Structures are given as C-alpha cells and as structure tokens.
Chain A
Amino acid sequence: MSFQVPDDRKYLESHEWADADGDNVRVGITDFAQDELGDVVFVELPGEGDAVEQGEEFGVVESIKAVSDLYSPVSGTVTAVNDALEDQPELVNDDPFGDGWMLEVELDGDGGRDELLSADEYSEQIE
C-alpha cells in the first residue's frame, strides 16, 4: 500500500503535517494516519486564538475503532479552525491533505518548522 506524501508539506513523526511555506500554515494529519485510524467520526480542535506548541497535544481525533491525540507540528497561534469537520469528520479520510485540514496557525518565528521531516524523510518512516 502506498500513501500520499506531498512534497509541499513538512511532517512530524506522529503523522501530522504542516505547509512547507508561508507564515500562516495549515495543519492536518497524513494519509497514512487516516488509513491507520479508519473511519474518522469526531475531531476535537482548539479555538481560534489558542496557542499551540510543536510536539504538544492540540486536540483529539476519534475513529470508530480508536481515539488518538493530535500533536502540533508547529508552534504559534490558531487563526482558523476547519469547521466543516464538525459535520463531516470523514473529510479527514477522504482528503487528508486538502479539505480534511484541521488548523491554520500563525507561526511563532519559524514555529519550529525547520525541525520537521521532509517528505522523503517521512516516507522512509512509514515504509
């Protein structure tokens, strides 16, 4: 089985992604992660204005079979939350790098983004 690992993202070992460019970056979970979880039925996210810190919990994703903590790939302030996930949590399964995004974060400095894995490095991890 092969999973999407787009080059324009950077990755945390715990299977979250962040946009590779820009100061206001989107955050979500990877194709590999959504496949491991199976049918996502509930996502609990922070509110706009909340601070998130790299490597720290920012929310929870629940599938039918499992509950999993979400770890922030970057440090900064939440500027937007994907409200669509409230009614359509399955977007995380259907389009994890697109419509299934979770947060937009205004980075605190570089937000620790340089410490994240590249697409190649992350691909190796999930092989």
Chain B
Amino acid sequence: MSLRKPPLRDVHAGLGATFTEFGGWDMPVEFDSIKTEHAAVREEAGIFDVSHMGEIEVAGPDAEELMQRLTTNDVTNLGPGDSHYSMITDEDGTIIDDTVVYRLSEHVNAEFLFVPNAGHDEEAYDRWTGYRDEWDLDAEVKNVTENFAMFAVQGPDAPDLVAEAADEQVTDLSKFEGKFVAFAGEECWTARTGYTGEDGFEIIPPAEYAETVWNLFDCQPCGLGARDTLRMEHGFLLSGQDFDPDENPRNPYEAGVGWTVKLDTEFVGRDALEQVSEEGPDEEFVGIKLVDRGVPRHGYEVTDPDGETIGEVTSGTMSPTLDEPIALGYVPTEYAEAGTKVRVVVRGQSKKAKIANVRFLSDDR
C-alpha cells in the first residue's frame, strides 16, 4: 500500500525535512531538530502541517442528530462557529477515536465538520454512513480529507502571525471558536484550536491553495516529532497509542476525558458509560516522572516499588521544556495519586519514578 501524501510533501522535502509513516501518511517528522521546534512553539510560534488529520463534513436536516448519536459530547450546545473535543465510542463505551467537532459558521458546504485522526477518516465515514442508513436519517456525509490541507500555527506569537497573514480579523475568535477566513483571497476554515497546549489556530485550506497559505507564515516549521513532545507535556491523548480499540481499549473515564461524555444525550456507548460513571473506572490515565535517569517509552512496564506489574507506559519522552523524563500511562486508581512511588522498567532496569499531574507543565511535583 502506498502512503498518502500531504499536498506540500515536496515543499517540506525541499526544506530538508525528514519523514515518517504515520497513520498511513508520509509526514514530516523533523525540519530542524525536535528541541528547536519544540522551544519555538513554547516561546514564539511554529507551523505544523497536519494534513494527515481527517475531515468529514455532515450536512442535511438530520446532521445534528447523526453527530449527536455518534459522539459523546453534546453537539446541541454548539452554536454556529463553536467546536468541542469529543469521543467516538463503540457500544461498550470503548474509545474508537477522539475528534474535534465544529459547527460551521456559515452553511457553505455542510453544517458540521469533524476531524478524525490520521488513518481514521475512512473508518469514520463508514461508521457515519452505516448508522445514518440504519437509523434512516436524512444526512449527507462526505469524506473530504484529500480535498484539504490542515496547518496548525501554535505558540504565544501565533495570534499575531495569523492576524498578519489573514485578510480579515481573526483574533476575535476565542478558544474553540472558528469561522471562514480569507488568506490571500482564499476562504479557509480557521479555528482557535490546537494540540500543543499553547494559544494558536488551525487552518484548513483547500489543497490547491495549501502552498500559498503555508508561505504566508514566516515562522519555525515543525514536524510530528515536536507535535508529540508538545502534546505529551500537556497529557493530551494520542489516538492509537494512548488508547486503541484493539490493542489498548479504554473508556473516556479511564482516559481522563470523562468531561466530554454527556450522559443526558443519546449516543452509541452511552449505557455502558453510565455504568462506568456510576462504578468509577478501575484504572486512570496518569503522568509519570522518572526520578532515575533514562527515557521512558511506549510499551515499557510500570511496576510498584516491589516489582509487581501495575501498568504500561503508553507515551514517553525526555520533556524538552522540563529537561526531565516524562511518561503517560494507565495505573490502577489506588496508585493514581500524584507523588505515589512507582517504577518504570527501562530496557530491563527498574527505574525509580513517581506519579505526576498529567498536565506536566502545570505542576512541579
């Protein structure tokens, strides 16, 4: 199977980027160095090509009902131009994917746009059209992933950069708000969202204008490597890694995103999740900081101080901001309190570690 390519693959190669396969896409992983790119986003601004993210449009009289019944959050709370983070769950309440759902501000193409993760667009399209037909709803679902690029401009200087690049005002958008904004004359859905923990915008230009829009930004180009370290420092979940319906099935309460579940709405997985909500999850998604030297990575075992296995690292790295080894993973709730002593087995060596706030940058413990 050949890899899917973002519209600007060759432009990035020309900038000296190195590439990696991610979710079936050939994506830039590093332009300069992960540390340089990471620091640029924390201190100034950086631009990411995240065209591997899916785009699914949902239109028609029953668009709202279809969205409501296939995502955990309450889309009736979204006014035009609003968006929220939400989960796509199966009948058992297991997270299939996480997504941002936008209610578009003008009914140009569709009422809703949602953004599944890389490689999940076809599965989402099949799910939406399958349930639409089963429930006999009047809604049009389009997988427009290949029609659009997606850029994230992130960092404290991002609002200034985006304001300068846009033909019209953008800084009136508050967090999680979006609208169509012209860049070099081309209308692009633009929202104040991101995956770095910094202020910033995500811009979805039609593929044919991707290069024009990219070139409006004079800031550090960043790859998926820095995107990963930035999101880990904020404890943001990575689909397929921090949860995976096959390899690491998790419900939203375990994964620390129970706040996206609105049990007073009807959706696939609701009844199972109501039960979890009443009983409480057995395990929790936590931050882990290594006390000993070493770098925790996906799949490494987490044990109690006696060496008894209690969990597994789902994501880990050397935090560029803290210059400390950090990890994310699930442990039984009795171990989940910040400060609890645990161990992480790094290449056969048991390293001292402690549970930390999953938002690593907001807590020094």
- B318 in complex: contacting residue of A42, A44, A60, CB < 8 Å: A42
Contact of A108 with B by CB under 8 A = no
A18 smallest CB distance to B (angstroms): 25
Tally A-B pairs: CB < 8 A: 37
Could you tell me if A60 and B320 are in contact, using CB atoms closer than 8 angstroms? no
A63 smallest CB distance to B (angstroms): 8
Q: Which residues from B are CB-within-8-Å of A86?
A: 293
Chain B interfacial residues counted at CB < 8 A: 17
Could you tell me if A60 and B347 are in contact, using CB atoms closer than 8 angstroms? yes
Q: Which residues from A are CB-within-8-Å of B35?
A: 39, 64
Q: Which of A1-53 contact B (CB under 8 A)?
A: 1, 38-39, 41-42, 44
Q: Which residues from B are CB-within-8-Å of A38?
A: 30, 33-34, 225
Q: How far is the CA of A60 from the CA of B297 in the complex (A)?
A: 14
Q: Which of A45-99 contact B (CB under 8 A)?
A: 60, 62, 64-65, 67, 86, 93
Q: Which residues from B are CB-within-8-Å of A62?
A: 294-295, 318
Known contacts A38-B34, A39-B34, A39-B35: does B294 contact A64 (CB below 8 Å)? no
Q: Which residues from A are CB-within-8-Å of B29?
A: 65
Chain A's closest residue to B323 (CB) is: A41
Known contacts A62-B318, A64-B318, A64-B320: does B225 contact A42 (CB below 8 Å)? no
Q: How far is the CA of A86 from the CA of B30 in the complex (A)?
A: 25
Could you tell me if A42 and B33 are in contact, using CB atoms closer than 8 angstroms? no
Chain B's closest residue to A69 (CB) is: B347
Q: Which residues from A are CB-within-8-Å of B318?
A: 41-42, 62, 64
Contact of B317 with A by CB under 8 A = yes
Q: Which residues from A are CB-within-8-Å of B251?
A: none
Q: How far is the CA of A44 from the CA of B325 in the complex (A)?
A: 15
Could you tell me if B225 and A65 are in contact, using CB atoms closer than 8 angstroms? yes
Contact of B229 with A by CB under 8 A = yes
- B317 in complex: contacting residue of A1, A44, A64, A93, CB < 8 Å: A64
Could you tell me if B297 and A67 are in contact, using CB atoms closer than 8 angstroms? yes
Known contacts A42-B318, A60-B347: does B33 contact A67 (CB below 8 Å)? no
Chain B residues within CB distance 8 Å of chain A: 16, 29-30, 33-35, 225, 229, 293-295, 297, 317-318, 320, 325, 347
Known A39-B35, A86-B293; further 17 A-B contacts with Cβ < 8 A: A1-B16, A38-B34, A38-B225, A39-B34, A42-B293, A42-B295, A42-B318, A42-B325, A62-B295, A64-B225, A64-B317, A64-B320, A65-B29, A65-B34, A65-B225, A67-B295, A67-B297
> Can you report 6 residue pairs joining A to B where beta carbons are below 8 Å apart?
A1-B16, A41-B318, A62-B294, A64-B34, A65-B30, A65-B225
